[in-house]
Amino acid sequence: MKQHRYRITVEHLADAHGNPSIHAAPLQFETGNHDDILAIAQRMRGRGDFDPDTATALAIGLKLFGEVMLENRGHPLFAELAPHFRDFMKRLKQGAHTLQNNPS
């Protein structure tokens, strides 16, 4: 499958108490995704469901997780979750206005 390629970097800035990070280096890895996740994150930010950082975290997290699940769909770890994840993604793609009018 053709994929977009990404380098993901996570840098620890501070602990839960606001103390500066003790981690020496950011965590960095490369991964692929069948979608343009930067464009998806931008669309999520523009929807107004969440503040921009939350919308970005949601979009990136879902796309990274979803790709792992898709590439490993036969793995028993995902057996129970897969149908619910598909339903969730369908509802998410419908948009906030639809969810407010149809909560089920």
Q: What is the pLDDT of residue 104?
A: 47
- 8 Å CB contact between 60 and 27: no
Round the average pLDDT of the chain to a whole number and report it: 91
Q: What is the pLDDT of residue 24?
A: 83
- Beta-strand runs (E) in 11-103: 27-33
Query: Does residue 15 surpass a pLDDT of 60?
Result: yes
The CATH number assigned to the domain with range 4-101 reads 3.10.20.850
Prediction pTM value: 0.83
Q: What is the pLDDT of residue 96?
A: 60
pLDDT (tens digit per residue) in 40-71: 999 999 999 999 999 999 999 999 999 999 99
- Which helix H or strand E contains 68, and what residues bound it? helix 52-71
Per-domain boundaries in the chain: 4-101
36 three-class SS = coil
**DSSP single-letter state for residue 30:** E
